[in-house]
Chain A
Amino acid sequence: MSFNPAALLLLIVGLGLIGWLAGRARSAMVAGRAGTKLHSRPQYHGWYVALWLFAPAAIFLAVWSSVAPAMITNDVLASEAAQRLPAFGFERSAILSDARGVAQGDQPSVRIEGAGPLVEPYRAATQKYGMIGIAAMLALALAGGLFAFTRIRPDFRARSRVERIVMGLLLLASLVAILTTFGIVLSLLFESIRFFQLVSPAELLFGTYWNPQSGAAVEGTFGGIPLFWGTVLIGAIIAMIVAIPIGMMTAVYLTQYAAPAVRRWVKPILEILAGVPTVVYGYFAALTVAPALRNFAVMIGIPNASTESALAAGIVMGVMIIPFVSSMADDSINAVPQAMRDGSLALGATPNETIRQVLIPAALPGVMGGILLAVSRAIGETMIVVMAAGLSANLTANPFASVTTVTAQIVKLLTGDQEFDSAKTLAAFALGLVLFVVTLLLNIVALRIVKKYREAYE
């Protein structure tokens, strides 16, 4: 019998099931004998036993699976055969892994000379720790199950306990995302600190020339302003010029004028658009919109017109953002009480006047929140700008010229063969950190605005 985590997991799930049935049966029996009513219904006692059986064993299984290989290797290294191994380096680990492969049945025979004598110690150690692991796991499962089983009494509050455990599980699940984010921030932070030891933060934030080279950091080539400007020009200016009016008009139409049948179709379609992979928009921007815009710019005589332009990326990004803006504006306008609309109409205002002068002002905070969220999404967007905006860091207000953004530069810095300790590569992390902080702030402000506004009508 070998130590196979998947099979063992199935085994304890099976044991848990038995525990469930046993706990349920026993609780009913106990209650019958005592002639009293159970505090908790039998299935809660069943769950209580099952959880006590399953959870400690599963946790042990997870821990054991991760520490057992190291213990096996230790054992092997202590064996007589291992004394002849080279002391360090690649060869040593290759021999060990070869022997392990044979011992665990992943390969038929050794490929490297010298691994042969190690197979047997490996096999023995694997066997030993496998048995120990299985025995300990089963003991833990049975101990947990018995502990829970013996606690079953009519007045035992199994329901409260099971519910508390379930709550714990839910809490754990919600923490996963938060802790992961936290880890990401930390890793960003560490790499950024390494970067800032080579290049000063002031240069990155306020410098106006961006041309990082491999090798040693050259003073004055890490100025982030052209990137920040490109990001703002595309994400916060051009995209919003497209998305805000169209999104608002969409929301006004859908909430105020559209027949229910139209709304039933258009709203889900818009929401589906929000889920289209951005690379698809990127193709559209690069292959269709950008060349068309360039031809137009050349026709009207604008200098520096490029096939990669801020305008193309910005317009397509704006289109991509429309569903965000319209859906937030839709929610905000709908949240304005009907009484407000009726009050205006009853004064003889036209629907148009009502929308412009009452509904939109009342919905404005929510709409603003939605717009900020959209901006935060737009400045973090990558594919469209990589494909359509270009990679040359120009500091220009000409929307037909090629500009670059923070995200596009991060992609450029990290693709290809890079050393992971040069200033050029580390700059990507610093840029990522800046982007993260800015979008985080935008999101916080946006959510606060939305929340405050919601409270106003409740």
Chain B
Amino acid sequence: MTQEDLSIADPKMTAQNVNVFYGEKQAINDVTIDVGTDLVTAFIGPSGCGKSTFLRSLNRMNDTIASARVTGKITLEGEDIYDPSMDVVQLRARVGMVFQKPNPFPKSIYDNVGYGPRIHGLAPTKADLDVIVERALVRAGLWDEVKDRLNESGTALSGGQQQRLCIARAIAVDPEVILMDEPCSALDPIATAKIEELIHELRGKYAIVIVTHNMQQAARVSQRTAFFHLGTLVEYGKTTDIFTNPKQERTKDYITGRYG
């Protein structure tokens, strides 16, 4: 791993010597990485390499798994997110997440987007909530498709629309970071293209971390790429460097399709 690539002037999140265990099994081994504020960071690697596990430790979603244990230090804007004083509810409002399979709630489109603002008390009046819902749907590129049927169930949308609804839902609470765990793996190519386009537009407004199996996708949407293998961070750097001039043999083998 080369040092120059790690230097990001103004990191949104940092991880230092992070280990994650599931019971006795170590899933993440001594990972140190910075996530840039205005950048899209892609985590790539073969299945089971720990990239999703690491992503889930960035907003403490691993807390929901009883046997999971995280050591090391992860910070958001300099605050240790595993510090006992950190409120996990607040943390997840600041670090949103989009999952592999679209998981809209069995509620109306409006209520899906309004759910987060409501529970966090972001909208004192109905008019405020209307504004927030509309803005989130516009940003997620879904407004024109659903503006006439906000009261229909979110689960009635197509897979790609559902995933954009989930992105809108995450945006609605105005997070600083959005984590995306293989957001396109359950979508067809056209829906995938729309999500990728959306990621381009969201860049700069939020720090985005995306886990993907698809190397072309990583190359298309990200500025930084981290290659994970067997629970360790093998190489991290500018996306162009990783894909054109990888420094590690393992990265090169993976990029060229030797395994994975």
Q: Could you tell me which A residues sit within 8 Å of B by CB distance?
A: 260, 337, 339-350, 353, 357-358, 361-362, 456
Given contacts A345-B92, A346-B59, A350-B89, contact A339 B101 (CB under 8 A): yes
Contact of B173 among A337, A340, A348, A357 (CB under 8 A): A348
Let me know if B61 and A345 touch, CB within 8 A: yes
Q: How far is the CA of A339 from the CA of B105 in the complex (A)?
A: 9
CA separation between A260 and B23, bound complex, in Å?
A: 15
Complex alpha-carbon distance, A260 and B61, angstroms: 19
> A342 vs B101: C-alpha distance in the bound complex, in angstroms?
11
Q: Are A349 and B119 interface neighbours, CB within 8 A?
A: yes
| Residue contact A339 to B119, C-beta cutoff 8 Å | no
* Inter-chain contacts of A339 with B (CB < 8 A): 99, 101, 103
Q: How far is the CB of A368 from chain B (nearest CB, A)?
A: 14
**Chain A residues whose CB sits within 8 angstroms of the CB of B91 once the complex forms:** 348
**B206 on the A face (CB < 8 A):** no
Which chain B residues border A348 with CB–CB below 8 Å? 89-94, 116, 119-120, 173
B67 CB, min distance to chain A CBs, angstroms: 10
Q: Name B94-147 residues within 8 Å CB distance of A.
A: 94, 96-97, 99, 101, 103-107, 115-116, 119-120
> For residue A456, which residues in chain B have a CB less than 8 angstroms away from its CB?
106
B224 close to chain A: CB less than 8 A: no
20 contacts between A and B (CB under 8 A): A339-B101, A341-B64, A343-B103, A343-B105, A344-B115, A345-B61, A346-B92, A346-B96, A346-B99, A347-B92, A347-B93, A347-B116, A347-B169, A348-B90, A348-B119, A349-B116, A350-B89, A358-B105, A362-B105, A456-B106
Question: Which are the 7 A-B pairs with shortest beta-carbon distances?
Answer: A348-B93, A346-B97, A339-B103, A348-B92, A347-B116, A343-B103, A348-B89
**B210, chain A: closest CB distance, angstroms:** 15
Contact status of A347 and B103, CB under 8 A, knowing A342-B61, A342-B64: no
Interface on chain A toward B: helix, strand, loop, or mixed SS? helix
Contacts of A350 in B (CB 8 A): 89, 119
Write out the residue numbers on chain B whose beta carbons fall within 8 Å of the beta carbon of A340: 103, 105-106
Interface string of B63-99 (1 = CB under 8 A from A): 0101000000000000000000000011111101101
- A357–B119 CB distance below 8 A: yes
Kindly provide the distance from the CB of B166 to the nearest chain A CB, expressed in whole angstroms: 7
User: Which residue of the partner chain, among A260, A342, A353, contacts B103 with CB atoms under 8 Å?
Assistant: A342
The chain B residue with its CB closest to the CB of A336 is: B106
Inter-chain contact B106/A361, CB cutoff 8 Å = yes
Establish whether residues B89 and A357, one from each chain, have CB atoms under 8 Å apart when the complex forms.
no
Contact with A along B17-60 (1 / 0, CB 8 A): 00000000000000000000000000000000000000000010
Q: A346-B61, A348-B93 are in contact. List 6 more A-B contacts (CB 8 A).
A: A340-B103, A340-B105, A343-B99, A344-B115, A347-B93, A349-B89
Interface presence of B170 (CB below 8 A): yes
Smallest Cβ distance from B159 to chain A, in angstroms?
13
Give chain A nearest CB distance to B173 CB in angstroms. 6
Are A347 and B61 in contact, with the CB atoms below 8 A?
no
A343 touches B166 (CB 8 A): yes
Assess whether A344 is in contact with B61, with CB atoms less than 8 Å apart: no
By beta carbon, the residue of chain A nearest B90 is A348
- Measured CB to CB, the closest approach of chain A to B23, in angstroms, equals 13
How close is A125's CB to chain B, nearest CB, in angstroms? 74
Chain A residue with the shortest CB-CB distance to B105: A358
Query: Of all chain A residues, which has the CB nearest B97?
Result: A346
What residue of chain A has the Cβ atom nearest to residue B63's Cβ?
A: A345
Closest CB-CB distance, B74 to chain A, in whole Å?
Answer: 16
**A260 to B, closest residue via Cβ:** B66
Given the complex of chains A and B, what is the CA–CA distance between A342 and B100 in angstroms? 11
How near does chain B come to A255, taking the closest CB pair, in angstroms?
13
Query: Does B64 contact A345, Cβ atoms closer than 8 Å?
Result: yes
Bound together, the chains give a CA A342 to CA B179 distance in angstroms of: 13
Complex Cα distance A344/B166, Å? 11
Give bound CA distance, A343 to B166, whole Å: 9
CA distance A260 to B67 in the complex (A): 11
A362 nearest CB neighbor, chain B only? B106
Residues from chain A with a CB closer than 8 A to the CB of B97 are 342, 346
Instruction: Tell me the nearest residue of chain B to A358, going by C-beta.
Output: B105
**CB proximity of B109 to chain A, nearest CB, Å:** 15
Residues of B within 8 A of A345 (CB): 61, 64, 92
A339 to B61, CA, bound (A): 12
Residues of B within 8 A of A337 (CB): 103
* Nearest CB in chain A: distance from B236 CB, A: 25
Contacts of B59 in A (CB 8 A): 346
B168 CB, nearest partner CB in chain A, Å: 11
In whole angstroms, what is the CA distance A346 to B166 when docked?
11
Given A361-B106, A361-B107, A342 contacting B119 (CB threshold 8 A): no
Bound together, the chains give a CA A353 to CA B66 distance in angstroms of: 20
Residues of A within 8 A of B99 (CB): 339, 342-343, 346
Which residues on the A side are within 8 Å of B166 (C-beta)?
A: 343
User: Which residue of B66, B96, B101, B105 is within 8 Å of A344 (Cβ)?
Assistant: B105
Bound Cα distance from A345 to B92, whole angstroms: 8
Query: Complex formed: what's the CA distance from A232 to B148 in Å?
Result: 45
Cα of A353 to Cα of B169 in the assembled complex, Å: 16
Minimal Cβ-Cβ distance residue in A for B107: A361
B residues near A347, Cβ cutoff 8 Å: 92-93, 96, 115-116, 119, 169-170, 173
**B171 CB, min distance to chain A CBs, angstroms:** 11
A358 to B111, CA, bound (A): 11
Q: Give CA–CA (A342, B102) in the complex, Å.
A: 11
Cα(A88)–Cα(B235), bound, Å: 106
Chain B CB within 10 A, most for which of A339, A343, A361? A343
**A285 CB, min distance to chain B CBs, angstroms:** 40
Return B50 CB to nearest CB of chain A, in Å. Answer: 18
- Distance (whole angstroms) from the CB of B121 to the closest CB of chain A: 11
> Which residue of the partner chain A has the closest CB to B106?
A362
Q: Which residue of A lies closest to B120 (CB)?
A: A348
Interface centre among A343, A345, A346, A349 (most CB of B within 10 A): A346
Whole-angstrom distance from the CB of B84 to the nearest CB of chain A? 17
Cβ of B96 and Cβ of A357 under 8 Å apart?
A: no
B61: A residues at CB distance < 8 A:
342, 345-346
Contacts of A344 in B (CB 8 A): 105, 115
Distance in Å from the Cβ of A453 to the closest Cβ of chain B? 10
Cβ of B181 to closest chain A Cβ, rounded Å:
10
